Structure 1
Amino acid sequence: MELTFQTAAPTERLYSARQSMQIEGQTGCIGHLRADMGEDGKGFFKTWKGHRENLSTEEFQQEFESVLNALVGDEQYGGFLKSRDAMRDFCQECPESSFNDGFAFGFRADTAQYAYLIRLQPYKGEENLFIYCYRRDWLDSHMKQAEKGIRFITPHYEEKFRIADGDSVRIRCQDGRVLDRVCRYIDDCHVEVGTGWDNLYHICQFAEMMERNGNSVIPLRNSLPLICYGKVPEKRAIVMFERGFDGYRSASYVTKGRTSQKLVDELNSEMGVSKAQAAAMLAGATQGWATPAADPKNYDEQGRPIKPRNQDRGDAR
């Protein structure tokens, strides 16, 4: 058995947790194993939950047993299943695998036919290991389609904005309520909004429902920070932007000989906010979060708008 092992990409981490029946069906999710290391951190108490019994073939079961043995005993994969201490040390050596505010660590192991999405939680009192097992070709095919993003449209099929699979939207209700919902890609015309038995919508059905109820919808992109600092033309002072909220609030800082823009860049850099993200946050807070300008992918590293490739062709003559 040839096994490749690597840190899970952010999009892959979505599949290291339980999915809806729609997504499990499309990704070929066979089932998942969860385990904890016990009170002393040296045990291995596991439970298996099957999702697609027709895919749980004898061939798969034999391979999965070999994968588990490799992750326990083969040092080339870190040996992180030997104990909770070994798991913790392994996770600390792979900080890029961290997600959920450092509570979980994601990895992916592949064989020729199957993909194993692994979530580690190396803490006493928690379930320490989750392994979700997929048909590799089904999973990769679904993820490739999901790269196109989730479309939000008007009832007349005019595109308003797109978000990445796993990003959220904010629904502003007519009665003043604000609802934040995680969205999952199903196919080009269907989306899951939140959780529950009635969360699956055709994108036009969802648009019609929002319009009928007098609600508005804006994207809450994970590519944007929760907060950042910036400057707006109408104010000389430094201001703070919050993702998903219109406008800004003043932030009192002493420049100490620096320009206010220099201080803004320093403050954002300390929080890990790039200039592209800061530019998108400014646009979202002042122009609207559904505008293309509120997406950091539309800026370069210096926070300057990226021109469309075909722009300026007519002017060059």
Structure 2
Amino acid sequence: MELTFRTATPTERLYTASQSMQLKGQTGCVGHLRADTGMDAQGFFKKWQTYQLNSDNEEFKREFEGVMNALVSDGQYGGFLKSRDAMRDFCQRHPESSFKDGFAFGFRADTAQYSYLIRLNPYKEENTLILYCYRRDSLERHMKQAEKGIRFITPHYEEKFRIADGDMIRIRCPDGRQLDRECRYIDECHVEVGKGWDNLYHICQFAEMMERSGNSVIPLRSSLPLVCYGKVPEKRAIVMFERGFDGYRSASFATKGRTSQKLVDELNSEMGVTKAQAAAMLAGATQGWATPAADPKNYDEQGQPIKSRNRDRGDAR
């Protein structure tokens, strides 16, 4: 059995968690394994759940057993399933695999027919290992389609914006409430908004529902930082922008001989915010988060707008 093993990409990490029945079907999800560790952190207590009985056959079971044995004992894969200590050491050697919270780590193993998307939680006794198995061809086909992004439109099919699969939207209600929901790509015309049995919508149905309720929807792009610093023409002082919030807050800093723009660049750089992101945050806070100018892909490395006659305002990040 040939097995390839590598760090999971941020997009692939979406598939290390429970999927809806719709996504399980489209991605060919065979089942998933969850494993806890005992008090001694040595052994694993495993539980397998099947989703597709026709795929969970003897041939698959033999392959699955071989994959698990390789992840336990084969040194070329790190032997991280020997114990929770071995898992923790392995994850610490691969910081690039970390989820945003810093406590979970994602990996992918592939055979000819199947893909295993793995989430490791080496600091937890429960759900220390979560592994989802997919038909490789079905998973890759769905992920390729999902690269188009999720469309949000008006009831008249006019495109407002797109977001990447797994990104969030904010629903602004007339009573002042703000509801943040994760969205998953189903196909060109269908989207899952949030969790639950009734969260699947045709994109026109969702647009009509928002209009009837008097709600507005904006993207919360993962390509944007939560906060950054900047300057606006009407204020000499440095201000702070927050993703998804209109306007800005004052931020007092002593410039100490530096120009305020230079200080803004330094502050943003310290937080890992690029000039393209800062420019998009300024546009989002002052022009609206659904505008193309609020997407960092529309700026160069210096934060200057990219001039292109063929720019597609609907491309997802």
Q: TM-score range by the shorter chain?
A: over 0.9
1:105 aligns with 2:81: no
User: How far 1:26 moved relative to its partner?
Assistant: 0.1
RMSD between superposed Cα atoms in Å: 1.0
Show the 5 A alignment for 1:113-132: 113-132=113-132
Letter in 2 for 1:67: V
Distance 1:306 1:75 in 2: 47
Partner of 2:291: 291
Deviation at 1:310, TM superposition (A): 5.1
Q: Which residue number corresponds to residue 226 of structure 2?
A: 226
Taking the aligned partners of 2:310 and 2:26, their CA distance within structure 1 comes to 37
In terms of mean alpha carbon deviation, does 241-250 or 56-65 score higher?
56-65
Taking the aligned partners of 2:170 and 2:310, their CA distance within structure 1 comes to: 33
CA contact (8 A) 1:39 1:124 kept: no
SS of residue paired to 1:55: coil
Unaligned runs of 5+ in 2: 312-317
- The superposition leaves residues 235-268 of structure 1 with CA deviations (integer Å, 9 ceiling, x where unpaired) of 1111000000000000011111111111111111
Determine the structure 2 residue equivalent to 1:281.
Answer: 281
Matching of residue 254 in structure 1 with residue 246 in structure 2: no
Relative distance call for 1:52 and 1:270 in structure 2 (3 A) is: same
For 1:243 and 1:310, locate their aligned partners in 2 and report how far apart those are by CA, in whole Å: 27
1:314 matched residue in structure 2? none
1:233-248 matched pairs, under 5 angstroms = 233-248=233-248
In structure 2, distance between residues paired with 1:303 and 1:58: 56
The residue aligned with 1:4 is 4
State how 1:164-175 maps to structure 2 within 5 Å. 164-175=164-175
Alpha-carbon distance in 1 for matches of 2:53, 2:123: 31
Deviation per CA, 1:71-119, whole angstroms, max 9, x where unpaired? 0001111111111111111111111111141121000000000000000
In structure 2, the residue corresponding to 1:13 is in which secondary structure?
A: helix
Equivalent AA in structure 2 for residue 275 of structure 1:
K
Q: How does 1:115-194 map to 2 (within 5 A)?
A: 115-194=115-194
Question: 1:28 is matched with which residue?
Answer: 28
| Partner SS, residue 18 of structure 2 | coil
Against the structure 1 CA distance between its residues 53 and 98, is the aligned structure 2 distance closer, same or farther, given a 3 Å change threshold?
same
- TM-score, with structure 1 as normaliser: 0.96
Please say if residues 190 and 203 of structure 2, whose CA atoms lie closer than 8 Å, have aligned partners that are also in contact: yes
SS in 1 for 2:262: helix
Supply the AA of the counterpart residue of 2:89. D
Whether 1:45 and 2:45 are equivalent positions in the alignment is yes
Match of 2:85 in 1: 85
Tell whether the 8 Å contact from 2:224 to 2:243 is kept in structure 1 after alignment.
yes
User: C-alpha offsets along residues 121-140 of structure 1, whole Å, 9 cap, x if unaligned?
Assistant: 00143321011000000000
User: TM-score, normalising length from structure 2?
Assistant: 0.96
In 1, Cα distance between equivalents of 2:264 and 2:253: 10
CA distance in 1, matches of 2:307, 2:100: 34
Question: Matched residue of 2:225: which SS?
Answer: coil
8 Å CA contact 2:8, 2:97 repeated in 1: yes
Q: Distance in 1 between matches of 2:123 and 2:158?
A: 47
**8 Å CA contact 2:37, 2:126 repeated in 1:** no
Q: What is the distance in 1 between the residues matched to 2:10 and 2:303? A: 23
Equivalent residue letter for 2:187:
D
Q: Residues of 2 paired with 1:71 and 1:243: CA distance?
A: 40
Change (3 A) 1:124 1:176: closer
Equivalent residues of 2:37, 2:125 under 8 A apart: no
Q: Percent identity?
A: 82
